[in-house]
Structure 1
Amino acid sequence: MQVKFLIAGVLLVLLSPLYYGYIIKGFTSTWRWVKDWGEDPNYRTYSSFDIRIPKNYSIHGIDVSYYQGKIDWKKVKAMKEDDVKINFAFIKATEGMFNVDPYFQRNWREAPKAGIICGAYHYFRPKKSGAWQAKFFLQTVKFEAGDLPPVVDVEELNGVPASKMRIELRDFVRHIEKKTGVKPIIYTGLSFYKDYLQGHFEDYPLWIAHYYQSKLKISKATKWHFWQHSDKAKISGINHVVDFNA
């Protein structure tokens, strides 16, 4: 009789939802530990964002364009895991001399309402006039006090020599600086920077793309302000993976 009661008690525990919840929670924690074991302790997996994030940074943000579709910025703002949350967003505004991102005006309006600090960026086309691209960008974006600096995204030559790209890019940044009184940020990939930009725009703040690393592998003397370290983040309120920045 005692044996029967003992078996019945064990079965009740094993079949209990609480027991299975405890096991699943324990398995998840153990898997995270196993997944990160032996890796840089300053590069941790955050399950809600579904990416690994460098731990030595306290300010995090995203950048978006029409690829992300219609965004619920209140959900973006509310998302948090431990000390990681979305503080800022760079929003695509324009490209070349004629293209305006179809979601720019909505994002530029709604993100600040949710309490997110915003900046706007222009996708640069080296075959086109840098000065005219800058004018088009500023006609589209109305910057205000408290916004992040304007950004120019340059990541391809489009068939022109690197020297020609740099001439047009310099015309772009000089026009932006003249009209806004602010030095624009130059966004580019780490390889593109080393191949074509290093040593040419040292007075301008940089935003560097370098993915899936615990550290940005660049000289300490380089004047970088933002690091795009992943392109696969999952963010509440956005139905597409997102670039993540520190």
Structure 2
Amino acid sequence: MRRAFFLVLVFLTACGRSEPVRTDVNASQTRPPQFSDADPVEFGSQSPRNFRVHGVDLSKYQATIDWNAAKRAGVNFAWIKATEGGDLLDVAFAANHDNAARAGVAVGAYHFFYWCRPAAEQARWFIRNVPKRAGDLPPVLDLEWTPFSPTCTRRPPQGEVIREAQIFLDILERHYGQRPLVYATKEIWDDRDLRPLRAEFWLRSTAKPVREVYDRTPWRIWQYSATGRVPGIAGDVDLNAFNGSPADWQSWYGRRAIR
């Protein structure tokens, strides 16, 4: 298998440091998952175990992480929460990003969308806090309803959802040179048809195979558990599978990594 190396220059401007951190991310050196689950689900013949490239997504709530142990256990990629709305920054983002990259994990950032602020404002906030770094995974736009939010429980109509999401995606694509993925839950997917969005989808399905829940919609990443247990990470963590073989991952990463 051809090896593709990416030199990642991580500038820590978000936390006030200017020194670049250099890390080599070898996209071809994937490891099989050695995870467990606090609440396992039997997916039958369409199990996530059929896929060989797995990773995690997480935020400050996972606390301090031993990324080297996580990498050895089969965390090949990680999307880290960076921002929410137009004024919230995950305080663990910079440390998680840099430590994951140092451990050889392919790493990217995601934004949790807030339905009570303009998409353009949220895109500017993300760009302000997430430097453009060669070798990073493409950004992710996390689309969910927020019924328990103390400040915003809006569920905009279909046209507004698509329009605002497209604005966010377009702004980030122009800045980072890669179009973001769109993460979606079953609830928002059923309420608002997200298929018109021009994006690769990352779909959540923790009780049934993703193909059954989303009616065979093409997908790139499947979030199959919220109760995963991974060496190096304390407590529960979201588990994800890449739709393809290790060779497919290498090819996709080579095309979609930020340059």
What TM-score bracket applies, with the shorter chain setting the length? Answer: 0.7 to 0.9
Q: 2:190 aligns with which of 190, 194, 197?
A: 194
Are residue 205 (structure 1) and residue 200 (structure 2) matched? yes
- The percent of aligned pairs where both chains have the same amino acid is 35
Are residue 107 (structure 1) and residue 96 (structure 2) matched? yes
* Structure 2 CA distance for partners of 1:47 and 1:176, relative to 1, 3 Å: closer
- Matched residue type, 2:36: F
Partners in 1 of 2:210 and 2:203 — Cα distance? 12
Provide Cα deviations, 1:150-205, integer angstroms capped at 9, x if missing partner.
1010101631422333322221111111222211111011231232133321x210
* Structure 2 CA distance for partners of 1:146 and 1:204, relative to 1, 3 Å: same
Q: Which runs of 5+ in 1 are unaligned?
A: 1-45, 80-84
Partner of 1:121: 110
Partner of 1:75: 69
1:137 positional shift: 0.4
TM-score (norm 2): 0.70
Are residue 174 (structure 1) and residue 161 (structure 2) matched? no
Partner of 1:24: none
Partners in 2 of 1:148 and 1:138 — Cα distance? 15
For CA contacts below 8 A with separation 6 or more, give which structure has more relative contact order: 2
1:48 positional shift: 4.8
Partners in 2 of 1:172 and 1:183 — Cα distance? 10
Partners in 1 of 2:235 and 2:165 — Cα distance? 30
| Structure 1 residue runs of 4 or more that deviate by more than 6 Å after TM superposition | none
Q: Which runs of 5+ in 2 are unaligned?
A: 1-32, 42-46, 147-152, 242-259
Partner of 1:49: 36
| Equivalent position SS for 1:194 | helix
TM-score (norm 1): 0.73
Contact 2:35 2:228 in 1 (8 A): no
Aligned residues: 194
My pick for the range that moved more, 148-157 or 100-109, is 148-157
| Equivalent position SS for 1:138 | helix
Partners in 2 of 1:47 and 1:91 — Cα distance? 20
- Matched residue type, 2:229: K
* Structure 2 CA distance for partners of 1:113 and 1:188, relative to 1, 3 Å: same
| Equivalent position SS for 2:226 | strand
- Matched residue type, 1:78: R
- For the pair shown, the structure with the greater C-alpha radius of gyration is 1
| Equivalent position SS for 1:74 | helix
Partners in 2 of 1:64 and 1:55 — Cα distance? 21
Partner of 1:165: 161
Partners in 1 of 2:165 and 2:177 — Cα distance? 17
Which of the pair is proportionally richer in helix? Answer: 1
Considering only aligned residues, what root-mean-square deviation do their CA atoms show, in Å? Answer: 1.9
Partner of 2:5: none
Contact 2:60 2:92 in 1 (8 A): yes
- Matched residue type, 1:109: D
* Structure 2 CA distance for partners of 1:143 and 1:223, relative to 1, 3 Å: farther
Contact 1:63 1:89 in 2 (8 A): yes
Partner of 1:229: 224
Contact 1:126 1:169 in 2 (8 A): no
